[in-house]
Structure 1
């Protein structure tokens, strides 16, 4: 971002914020109504995809997904991704092609209108200061048992410099405990469109790279740290290749 202020507003900032926030309000109300008939409605997934695009299109994000062949239809995954921007969740929901629920910070669930909608469709609430492991495991188990995948950002916050920071272990404990594969996914480009802590939104290319899933059925709780480190290594090496390529 050298030579460009991430805090200054751009011509894309106001339309993106306005469209995205209005869409979020509308979708939150709509999802609560749809979820009355069950959060497993396919309509929920379509609404979430449209919501993602309602942010990405005005932001000028051009999304390219690679590695879809690694996704097995009907398989639930713990999807693990690096975290570079507030746009990341929108990219995953809009373009990944999986029915997703996200492990999200408790502060979002405290927001009026949005919070009840997140609960209604089964997003997983996490208090980062005092995580309730039993409640998180129960919510994650429900997501995976329903045939959906759980998206986790194990850095727990957006990267301040674009590199992949230290991972927390929760996602990997869940994957091993439930015996589902981990699906490593690398994002590159969202930080250049909307940097963490900034107001400047600029169009650009986003690459989503899906790597080979890592099976966990043979692993035990003693393997959590090793799995965590292996997945971080995969993401870091993939990001190094992607960020060095012309996009």
Structure 2
């Protein structure tokens, strides 16, 4: 079907500002573009190591002719200017109520029907792994994939964290950094399609997605990934927020741990 004229025009306007800035700050090496499905909407699942990852992935997808759609807090859509912008480029509002979740799903379906790329970070937040490998994930990407049948494309990227380290307050511009991005084959979830969306089904799908991302990242880094995926809850870490480090006594300075799978 393709992206609407208004949405594409706004993407073009934003890209005219963002792409030159990204190219100036960050060299790039993109690999595996031929693995991107064409003529269909896709769910893009990258690893998450720094706050500027969405710019890196959005830059890549736009350059491949795929309009990127990110999940954003529903409250942002009520802001006068920001809300209008987000609605125009059809970003996906995330709400916690049942009715809100249904609206989010419908917005996601619309973006997929227009051959867009919905970007979902399966980890849910920046990785807590000390070596920055993908950590235990959440089920949102798997749920959307099984509800819509859209292909899930794993992506690994490495190097952007040198330009803007995790939870940094400023860019490290010099010397100029380089990001490498590798696209994998779509994750095979065919045996799970049509199955009840139980925790077991969603966990299986989520693990497959994260396994694919981890394998790609190991290739990019030229290193072996850990045998066991980092689990923030098991490590007594808060699942969101900056203050998540584990004290020597095993307690987190950030308060109680939650186990919500959003």
Give TM-score, length-normalised by structure 2: 0.70
- Aligned residue runs from structure 1 range 183-202, under 5 A: 183-202=153-172
Q: Over residues 72-131 of structure 1, what are the superposed CA-to-partner deviations in whole Å (9 max), with x where a residue is unaligned?
A: 32121111111122221111221232222111234644555223211222100124x768
Is the partner of 1:113 in helix, strand or coil?
helix
RMSD: 2.5
Contact 1:188 1:206 in 2 (8 A): yes
Q: Aligned with 1:79: secondary structure?
A: strand
Greater fraction of residues in helix: 1
Q: Give the equivalent residue in structure 1 for 2:126.
A: 158
* Residue from 46, 71, 74 that aligns with 1:103: 71
Alignment check: 8 A CA contact 2:187 2:208 kept: no
CA gap of 1:115–1:41, structure 2 versus 1, over 3 A, is closer
Structure 1 residues 137 and 208: alpha-carbon distance in aligned structure 2, compared to 1, 3 A threshold: same
Q: Is the Cα contact below 8 Å between 1:87 and 1:190 reproduced in 2?
A: yes
Q: 1:197 to 1:110 in 2, by over 3 A?
A: farther
CA pair 121-185 structure 1, distance change in 2 beyond 3 A: same
User: Within 2, Cα distance between the matches of 1:166 and 1:130?
Assistant: 25
In structure 2, stretches of 5+ residues that fail to align are 224-262
Q: Distance in 1 between matches of 2:183 and 2:9?
A: 25
What are the within-5 Å matches in structure 2 for residues 21-100 of structure 1? 38=4, 41-58=7-24, 60-96=25-61, 97=64, 98-100=66-68
